[in-house]
Amino acid sequence: MSALVEIQDVKKSFGSNEVLKGVSIAVEPHEVLVVIGASGSGKSTLLKCINFLETYDEGRIVFDGKLVGYKENDQGRDIAPESETREIRKNIGMVFQNFNLFPHKSVLENVIEGPVQVKGVTKSEAIEYADELLKKVGLADKRDARPSTLSGGQQQRAAIARSLAMRPKLMLFDEPTSALDPELVGEVLATIRGLAEEGMTMIIVTHEMAFARDVADRVIFMDDGIVAEEASPEEIFTNPKAQRTQDFLARVL
């Protein structure tokens, strides 16, 4: 089986701060990879490199057979034309901590925006699929509401529907429940779990350890810019090998 995402020895610095120190990860189609680790360990930077919201200094990221962000040549590499990066991004959905919905548009308008504007899908086709997705995330009755009238959990589910509307091959989640009141976390995690059951390929950064254990096919523990441990959820949560994983889990569990 060939990986959908292949991250090979990626390094990234902000000035003199090296935040990714040689990260290698492969994600197979339909796999759910959960990334855990302390704040500042480089998790968000890694996710952003995958859709080139951040550049990376060394190494390669290959998504669906295409090198992300760069064009290689005899001298090394140059930044790829924006059109190529845009093409890659169409296939990668990203959901952040803060939902970033368009405030002046209805939920439905938020969901159809990408397909209509970026993919050139007809409006009626986009609406048909959007209604299907809103039903799936439990927001059929909110299709005409403004985001500001929704709870945080509803807004995040709308943001997930908006990403799914692009029919991505990969979904990236960066602490999707961190900004939510505790009682709203469960409904968002249930939505993500549903995607896992449908076979969506996902990389999920989360601090929700019970959810991580439940949804992950594989877990990566990042520590100070490296992958300190990679294992099955059973292994990492019951028998972590690295001392740093043990220390981290002792703090958060």
List contacts with ligand ADP (CB under 6 A).
Answer: 14, 17, 19, 37, 39-45
Decide whether 161 or 203 has the Cβ nearer to ligand ADP: 203
Q: Is the dihedral of CA 170, 85, 115, 2 positive or negative?
A: negative
Least distance (Å) between residue 170 CB and ligand ADP: 18
Decide whether 178 or 246 has the Cβ nearer to ligand ADP: 178
Least distance (Å) between residue 17 CB and ligand ADP: 6
Decide whether 14 or 75 has the Cβ nearer to ligand ADP: 14
Decide whether 44 or 201 has the Cβ nearer to Mg ion: 44
Decide whether 17 or 148 has the Cβ nearer to ligand ADP: 17
Output the six-digit token pair for 141: 């009755």
Q: How far is CA 123 from CA 46, 115, 136, 146, in A?
A: 34, 8, 20, 19
Decide whether 26 or 226 has the Cβ nearer to ligand ADP: 226
206 touching Mg ion, by CB under 5 A: no
156 touching Mg ion, by CB under 5 A: no
Of 20-28, 38-46, 190-198, 236-244, which segment contacts Mg ion by CB under 5 A? 38-46
Least distance (Å) between residue 136 CB and ligand ADP: 28
191 touching Mg ion, by CB under 5 A: no
155 touching Mg ion, by CB under 5 A: no
44 touching Mg ion, by CB under 5 A: yes
Least distance (Å) between residue 77 CB and ligand ADP: 21
Given Mg ion, ligand ADP, none, residue 19, with its beta carbon under 5 to 8 Å by kind, binds ligand ADP
45 touching Mg ion, by CB under 5 A: no
Dist CA 63 CA 10 (whole Å)? 14
